[in-house]
Amino acid sequence: MDFSAALLRYCETAVTPAWLDFNRALALELAAGLPEPEIAQLFQRIGQRVADAAPLPRCEDLAQLQDAFNAHWSSLGWGFASLEEQPDALRIVHACSPLARQFGPAASPAWAAAFFEGVYGRWFQSQGLPPTLHVRALPPQQDAAPPSPLIELRLGRSAA
């Protein structure tokens, strides 16, 4: 079984038709009116506000934190997250976000990545994240066909 294709089919169910035309028109206006770095900043701030509006309970370990993330995303139909400890960072993978599909081809994959940087960054801060650590999105795979339904992020020390 092709896991990527199955995941992509699952993700397609997250598209809300009622907002599709509005969101795609909004994406076209954003892309036409703002430089890409400003759009990414906007989406990161939106993600921070979303996290502020949906605070997480205090979690004792990564398993509890992943469960808290997924309880929130599940309640919205916004996919799911997995956390994986690595030697020098924490890998965060968010699957099946409806953002890319809602905004359509005018939207850069960086928009959704910036949104999730904002959300996860704020949620980690609320758990007592040291100020030396930051959540950063990894660049999307440009050659993925079909486009990957995964957004990969990294919690670690920022490069100086």
Instruction: For 97-137, write each residue's pLDDT tens digit.
Output: 888 778 888 788 889 999 999 999 999 999 999 989 999 99
Residue identified by tokens 């997995």 is: 82
Q: Taking a C-beta distance cutoff of 8 angstroms, is the pair 116, 47 a contact?
A: yes
d(CA 153, CA 137): 4
Which residue ranges make up each domain of the chain? 3-157
- Which DSSP symbol is given to 160? -
Instruction: For 47-95, write each residue's pLDDT tens digit.
Output: 999 999 999 999 999 999 999 999 999 999 898 999 999 999 999 999 9
Architecture of domain 3-157: 2-Layer Sandwich (3.30)
Burial class from Cβ neighbours inside 10 Å (0-12, 13-18, 19+) for residue 113 reads buried
Structure tokens at 87: 């030697």
d(CA 154, CA 138): 7
> For residue 23, how far is the Cα from the chain centroid?
17
